[in-house]
Amino acid sequence: MEIWISDEEFEAIKRNKEKALEFLNNGDKLRTYLLSLKFKFLMEKLNNLEERLQEVEQEYRKLKAFESRAFEDKEFLLRIRRELSIENSNLRRKLNNESNLSKKSICEDYS
Query: pLDDT at residue 49 above 90?
Result: yes
Give yes or no for a contact between 29 and 22, defined as CB atoms under 8 angstroms apart: yes
Confidence of residue 75 (pLDDT cuts 50, 70, 90): very high
> What's the pTM value of the predicted model, to 2 decimals?
0.52
List, in sequence order, the alpha helices (H) in the chain.
7-15, 17-25, 27-110
Half-sphere exposure of 60 (CA within 13 A, CB side): 6
